Amino acid sequence: MSGGTLGTWNPTTTPRPAPGGGCPCRPPGPGPRSCRSAPRPALPRSARSARSRGRRCSPGTGRTGGRRTSRGNGLSSRSGNAVGWLLALLLLAGACASPPDPGHRTSAVARPPMGWNSWNTFGCAIDENRILAAAGALVTSGMRDAGYRYVVVDDCWQAPARAADGALQADPVRFPHGMAWLGDRIHAMGLRFGIYQSPEEQTCAEYGGTLLGATGALGHEDQDARTFADWGVDYLKYDWCSPHGTIDDQVTAFATMDRALRATGRDIVYSINPNSAHFNSGPYYDWGRVADLWRTTEDVADAWSTGCVSDCAMGVTEILDAQAPLAGRAGPGRWNDPDMLEVGVRGTFTPDENRAHMTMWAMMAAPLMAGNDVTAMPADVRDVLTAPGAVAVDQDPLGRQATRLRTDGRAEVWARPLADGSVAVALLNRGDAPTSIATSASEAGLPASAAYRVSDVWAGTSATTASPDLAATVPAHGVAFYRVTPTG
């Protein structure tokens, strides 16, 4: 962890205090990160503040709260002006009822992006040598050839102040050659260059007090987009960091950068995070209208389960529960993002948990952003991340997210249709003891066929059978993962 010693922090319990006091913050560095004023339940947009420093929509009314004058505006006289009140309520309800329309959007991101992000392992402890070492490891480990092509430099790359002309600058100590130079070196390895920014005044590390400065994009969107294009950036992670603002505010901010990126003429994958320091806003807006991929949940922890569903780090199982209802919003060019992979990040997961984590992200057609130290990667972690069968399911061109067909809170059956007529099936054991799980061809949505090829993705075996009914004894926190193809 960089930014000094901030004490112990357990991502499975509660957010910890920010350095020097203030709001509870998740730490920059290993683990999730965000800063919020106090734990609170997830509420729909109409029941949340329009902005903490501006207009408020009162819970249950949709009206704007705050102070009213007693005279001079015709709205608060005791005699009342019925017409005036009605007009005011209609106007205010309109202001609080629906997010702004960003217009029609098309995307060229036909498959979920794959790559590596610096945050989960290194946090703010990054420099150009560390980034280039990670890029080189993607090549030598075989991850690049397996599809992991984006090298995303997360928060803390920037200098604490912009240049005199308002342009972003790289930290001169940690990135002395600048970001364009870094991007050139990454491109020379056959990889693509990603970078981080925030739509508000400060990035998440700046907002949390770990990094000095206020270099967020607010008021600089067009300039920053041009800078990124000039630097050869191929991927932008755009991270909402404060607990303030409604979905309306977020839609406006994310759409502003979307337009700015498009105006540059450079193809830049646009990844947004409406949830970094917010409630779980995934269900409340169709984020594919403003971005190529969007975070659907709170930050992921390196934990199978944290027991937390709002305002703190979520485990694998909580994220599955949050993303399952959003399957209809994903597809080619618009991807639900359940956050970065925790496979191999700190060695917390067992081998069964690593395989289950990778399986379920592949089943959800999730972007696969590795977060482990790829320069010191054990062979078993590499094998999970590069497993051809799992990657093929994730990258299937049909782009359909899996549907959870059945759950009893422990044993689950998921199925995902694939472009060649196959169906990917995951039998997931969320429980703490081995359990038997089974499904039938009809439940999995397989068409009638004289024969089927059943491929066990993790065992690497295949067999042809007349009956594709599946059954397995699945280990605790484990999965059985199949690809079933009609052949007759």
Give me the half-sphere count of Cα atoms (radius 13 Å) on the Cβ side of residue 219.
6
Q: Cα–Cα distance between 41 and 321 in angstroms, integer? A: 16
Ordered structural domains, the chain, with CATH: 114-394 (3.20.20.70), 403-486 (2.60.40.1180)
Residues with Cβ within 8 Å of residue 221, at least 6 apart in sequence: 199, 256, 257, 260
**Strand-pair partners of 150:** 115, 192
Tell me what pLDDT residue 284 has: 77
- pLDDT for the residue numbered 276: 64
Place of tokens 């799992």: 390
- What pLDDT, on the 0 to 100 scale, is given for residue 59? 27
Contact 156, 123 (CB under 8 A): yes
pTM listed for this prediction: 0.81
Q: Which positions ≥6 away from 136 have C-beta within 8 Å? A: 189, 375
Q: In degrees rounded to 5, what are phi and psi of residue 66?
A: 100, -170
Confidence (pLDDT) at 277: 60
Residues forming the active site: 239, 299
Q: What is the pLDDT along the chain (488 residues), one digit of tens a residue?
A: 333 222 222 333 333 223 223 333 333 344 444 333 333 333 333 333 333 333 223 223 232 333 223 323 333 333 334 434 333 333 334 334 456 676 666 778 999 999 999 999 999 999 999 999 999 999 999 999 999 999 999 999 999 999 999 999 999 999 999 999 999 999 999 999 999 999 999 999 999 999 999 999 999 999 999 999 999 999 999 999 888 888 889 999 999 999 999 999 999 999 999 976 656 666 778 999 999 999 999 899 999 999 988 778 999 999 999 999 999 999 999 999 999 999 999 999 999 999 999 999 999 999 999 999 999 999 999 999 999 999 999 999 999 999 999 999 999 999 999 999 999 999 999 999 999 999 999 999 999 999 999 999 999 999 999 988 999 999 999 999 999 999 98
State how far the Cα of 138 lies from the Cα of 145, in Å rounded to an integer: 8
